[in-house]
């Protein structure tokens, strides 16, 4: 088991985030779905924490990879969401975890900026850069649960500004510079996440909404969803990589954002048709999280079999 945990890839944090978010997305259908998703998210987290405790030295080389370094904050984002699961059980612990995760994410932004932005290379830019800077807006989505709308609003403005700055750079990198290797190809799905996250963050942390802002974020979310979903079959064809985690949380957060937008626009008696793409995105989110979860289970099972075969081979060699 120890050797298996050592093989836990850091990008699995994206699946952890996808599961945590999915629990909130489907809670309205059955609260037990939320609990199940939350438990699976925590179990995923334990694998990552286990690897850190058992093989801490292996993190350094991984984090020199800009893709892995930029998806790592999904762990902090997941902690922010998981903290809401504890709010009615252990409120003080939940609040501590939430603030701690925000601090960790901010520290990561500073480290990542020094490590990769100060030594900027366009070939090292990926859609996963959105996670580092815009991902902090998860705090805006969860801020009402912790009665800190002011913090949520401030973080929203930071995340939205970062999105506007990064968007043309990442578009240029992905569609003009190109040359994205197969293992990093699934990260293109992350194009879907920032607009949906900002939409959910804005609707959560602002009591008075600007209809133009909601309209802009809703339009961006739909446009990114359509573009990424059209490209999805090509990304799936590359075969499983740990970066498949990127197929989970972008759809989940986009579904959450659109679901909230449906309520907003219904209240304003416009865009009644928005409920249809919102429901479709919700279905896609469930399907993609389950798909990636099964793929990861298969990944660990194959590693387990390979480890057993290696152990048996070593025993035979010793006996001979």
Q: In the predicted model, is pLDDT for residue 256 greater than 60?
A: yes
In a domain, 314, yes or no: no
Q: What is the pLDDT of residue 310?
A: 53
In a domain, 299, yes or no: yes
301 confidence band (pLDDT: 50, 70, 90): confident
In a domain, 231, yes or no: yes
In a domain, 320, yes or no: no
* Structure confidence by residue, pLDDT tens digits, 171-201: 999 989 988 889 999 999 999 999 999 999 9
In a domain, 30, yes or no: yes
227 confidence band (pLDDT: 50, 70, 90): very high
Q: What is the pLDDT of residue 311?
A: 44
Q: What is the pLDDT of residue 314?
A: 46
| Domains contained in the chain, number | 1
List the domain range (segments joined by +) for residue 27. Answer: 2-309
Query: pTM of the entire structure?
Result: 0.93
Q: In b/e form, how buried is each residue of 85-116, taking b as 16+ CB within 10 angstroms?
A: bbbeeeeeebbebbbebbeebbebbeebeeeb
Q: What is the pLDDT of residue 272?
A: 74
CA distance linking residue 205 with residue 149, whole number of Å: 5
Phi, psi of 121 (to 5 degrees): -135, 125
What CATH number has the domain bearing residue 104?
1.50.10.150
CA distance linking residue 95 with residue 80, whole number of Å: 9
Q: In the predicted model, is pLDDT for residue 267 greater than 70?
A: no
């Amino acid at each position: 088991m120890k050797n298996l945990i050592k093989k836990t890839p850091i990008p699995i944090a994206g699946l952890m985030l996808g599961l945590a978010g999915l629990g909130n997305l489907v809670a309205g259908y059955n609260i037990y779905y939320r609990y199940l998703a939350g438990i699976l998210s925590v179990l995923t987290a334990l694998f990552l924490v286990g690897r850190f405790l058992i093989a801490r030295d292996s993190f350094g080389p991984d984090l020199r990879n800009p893709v892995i370094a930029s998806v790592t904050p999904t762990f902090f984002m997941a902690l922010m969401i998981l903290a809401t699961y504890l709010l009615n059980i252990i409120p003080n612990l939940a609040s501590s975890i939430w603030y701690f995760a925000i601090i960790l994410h901010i520290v990561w932004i500073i480290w990542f900026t020094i490590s990769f932005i100060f030594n900027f290379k366009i070939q090292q830019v990926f859609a996963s850069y959105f996670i580092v800077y815009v991902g902090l807006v998860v705090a805006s989505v969860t801020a009402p649960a912790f009665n800190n709308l002011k913090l949520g609003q401030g973080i929203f403005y930071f995340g939205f500004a970062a999105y506007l700055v990064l968007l043309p750079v990442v578009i240029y990198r992905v569609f003009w510079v190109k040359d994205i290797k197969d293992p990093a190809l699934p990260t293109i799905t992350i194009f879907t996440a920032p607009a949906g996250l900002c939409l959910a963050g804005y609707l959560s942390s602002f009591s008075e909404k600007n209809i133009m802002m909601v309209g802009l974020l809703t339009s961006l979310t739909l446009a990114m969803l359509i573009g990424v979903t059209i490209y999805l079959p090509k990304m799936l064809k590359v075969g499983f990589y740990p970066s498949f985690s990127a197929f989970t949380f972008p759809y989940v957060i986009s579904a959450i954002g659109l679901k909230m937008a449906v309520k907003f626009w219904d209240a304003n008696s416009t865009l009644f048709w928005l409920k249809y793409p919102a429901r479709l995105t919700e279905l896609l989110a469930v399907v993609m999280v389950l798909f990636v979860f099964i793929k990861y289970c298969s990944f660990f099972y194959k590693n387990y079999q390979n480890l057993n075969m290696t152990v048996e081979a070593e025993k035979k060699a010793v006996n001979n």
